[in-house]
Amino acid sequence: MHSFDSVISRLRSNGFKLTPQRLAIIKYMENNKTHPHALKIHKELKKKYPTLSFSTVYNTLNMLESIGEITSVNIFDEYLNFDPETKPHIHFYCKVCGEVTDIFLEDVDGLSLPIDEINGNLIDSAQIVFKGICKKCRGREQQ
Ligand SMILES: [Zn+2]
Ligand SMILES: [Zn+2]
């Protein structure tokens, strides 16, 4: 995701109407590393915007995704998680604390994305989720 200001000017020039609620959702996503799902974003922002509807949250996320400013990640069956990090990366899900964090390809030997073609299949996106126990939880277990 680009900076808040450049996302706003992109949306304005695309004719999107930006209400204070929508701006708050965009601000919430900027530099957000927690991969929130729409229900969580709704719950958080409702504290400040009591009239905020779930569909406004969902539509705004879809709008950001449609212009490539965020991506949706399918880690759980029940819902999508949203991510302002748009360069290809891997997700790590901790089975203990439930956190989803990013692993960048520089940290994984021998892997480069995007992969163009495998066995004649043309590949244009990939979602890789590693699961295990995160660094923080491992530290806690060893104590
Ligand atoms: Zn953990
Ligand atoms: Zn991510």
Q: Say if residue 77 is in the same domain as residue 92.
A: no
Ligand nearest 35 Cα, by number?
2
Q: What is the pLDDT of residues 15-47, one digit of tens each?
A: 988 999 999 999 999 999 999 999 999 999 999
Alpha helices in 30-142 (DSSP H): 38-46, 54-66, 135-142
User: From ligand 2's centre to the CA of 120, what distance in Å?
Assistant: 28
Ligand nearest 88 Cα, by number?
2
Domain ranges, residue 112: 87-142
Give ion ligand 2 contacts, CB < 5 A. 83, 85, 102
**pLDDT at residue 106 above 90?**
no
Q: How many helices (H) and strands (E) are present in the chain, helices listed first?
A: 5, 7
Domain end point (choices 82, 100, 119): 82
User: Shortest CA distance to 134 belongs to which of 107, 81, 98, 106?
Assistant: 98
Question: How far apart, in Å, are the Cα atoms of 87 and each of 4, 18, 55, 71, 143?
Answer: 17, 26, 27, 9, 36
Q: What is the pLDDT of residues 65-95, one digit of tens each?
A: 999 999 999 888 888 999 999 888 999 999 9
Q: Say if residue 22 is in the same domain as residue 92.
A: no
Q: What is the mean pLDDT of the chain?
A: 91
User: From ligand 2's centre to the CA of 52, what distance in Å?
Assistant: 26
Cα of first residue to Cα of last residue in the chain, in angstroms, is 38
pTM attached to this predicted model: 0.85
What CATH number does residue 65 fall under?
1.10.10.10
